[in-house]
Structure 1
Amino acid sequence: MGRVSMAMVAARAGVSGQTVSRVVNDSPRVDPATRARVEKAMAELGYRPHRAARALRTGRSQTIGLVVTTLATVGNSRMLQATAEAAAERGYALTLVTASSGVADAFERLAEQEVDGAIVLNEASAQVSGADRPPGLRLVVVDAASGSDYAVVHSDHAGGAAAATAHLLSRGHGLVHHLAGPADSFAAAERERGWRETLAAHGVDAPDPVRGDWSAEAGYRAGREFAAASAVFCANDQMALGLMRALAESGRRIPDEVAVVGFDDVPDAANYRPPLTTIRQDFAALAQRAVGTLVAEIEGADAASDAAVVPTNLVVRASA
């Protein structure tokens, strides 16, 4: 069968073509029962709205951009998948651009593709405040300090780090060391802040953190820095994995001699040896908030004025 038309949907649903058009364009002038009947007919026939035609009617491309610096990190790759799924649920396509030549260049490329708005992820977010962007480009930034002219969404990094640190202190460790992320990362800075503030609240002076680049290799290299530590909070699970290998090779038993907690709860964390205690980020919820905020602005709703913070939670396993 060829492309399914609105007329075919109208015939299946027993309504006019104009009613189908109103449903496709999210018009409020359709009662819920009729809308449900039309949507059922669309699903049965496999109807897909013609994107170019809709763009002509609405003035929108039904496409949003996603700006990243890299997809090598687990957080970025998981956010790409979650963002694509959240956008598709709302009838939007996703265009991915890398900020290899800077965020301003990425914005220009998106503007040339006439996207309706853009989401900027993680490491690229640090470049947004000083970057020029095309007039009218709606923006949501993930993992950044609040901006004056764009919405911000981030996980509760500081709260998660506080929970990880408090958990280690509650297990009798008098001092918790920290394997931190890159100095220019908002997420890393917030996780470090949560760690420092929790130690201070317990009357403990924070030692100097050891800094890594999010990779398991960085965690492995940092192993010697924690030779005498009894507890280490790692800023992500990959670095925790490398650290655990280094500790095991040096003969230190986890968690008997040293406890380790990570951050992210990557899918493999439960299969580390031992299974990793970590802070779970809800990437699906983070993407839903980012896409929902951007689409609301695109479609004329008021944008959030304050940063939207997505909760994190502690997942206790055998490493701490």
Structure 2
Amino acid sequence: MIKLIAENNRIKKILNIKNIEINTKKVLIDNKNEKIVVLEDETLELKDNLSQNELTILDLRNIESENNQDNLFNIESINSLEKINNQNNQTIIDLRAESEEQQQIILDLRRKEQILRSGLTSTANENIKQQDQVKILNLQLEELKKQLASISTLLDESEKRDLEQKARIADLGSRLNTALAQRVKELSEYRSEFFGKLREVIGSREDIKIIGDRFVFQSEVLFESGEANIGIEGQRQLAKLSVAIQDLIDQIPTEINWILRIDGHTDTIPIRNSRFQSNWELSAARAISVVEFLTRTGIPANRLAATGRGEFMPLDTEKSEEAYKKNRRIEIKLTES
């Protein structure tokens, strides 16, 4: 906006200067024209004089014989007058040429004046247009301020609701953690009772152990080497396990969401036979065989899960037959689903 006003003032100053130049030129032209008129009058007068002189010459020629000296003088006067006349004519021609040049300068100045006036009008129109745009932008800015104020109010309300929800969530989380802790405690109690019953049913055997929260069968108790079919002795031990589980099912409250997870593990010796291409497949197949057997003995399928762990979770990392035997196992864990 400031730039447009400055440009407008600059153009006005230029126009004033040009108008002064035009007026000055006009005065000069008027002076020249006055001189031309004077010279034309003088020329007419000289022409009259020339005519008079020509008559005088005729008269002088008639009396040439009488006064040659006067005749020569008159001839020189005529020549001088003709020379002056020629000079005056040339001056008139020069003044007319200069007048035409001045007229062309005036025309050029008027064209420039018209261009400047047109630019000034265009600048003024652009200025008005930009002022209108500024008004529109100010209206839009006011509207945005109103919207921002509305959004700020909504944000404040949202933050307030968010704080209230966080408080409720924290309360619910605390209550949920308390409930979960209670469920974990209850499940731990049933797990301890479960392991106790399993120990009573199966008895004290080196190849069946309780490690932490898991009941561990050495694979040799249930399977032949490289196989996933449960042997007779393995079926006998799993049947005892099934009886203990079914006794415990009736005691666990229905609101406790529990599951019996069966994990199959192998040693690190690679296997490749007609049935299994990897220890992953062997460990998964053995876990599934245990789950299928327990299902057939009456354990609900939705309380069982089979997982193949391959050789990737060893109990012993040594490279010995004793370590390999320890790592080949089936783990049974009572946990939350």
Higher helix share: 2
Using structure 2 for the length normalisation, give the TM-score: 0.20
Higher strand share: 1
Higher CA-based Rg: 2
Using structure 1 for the length normalisation, give the TM-score: 0.21
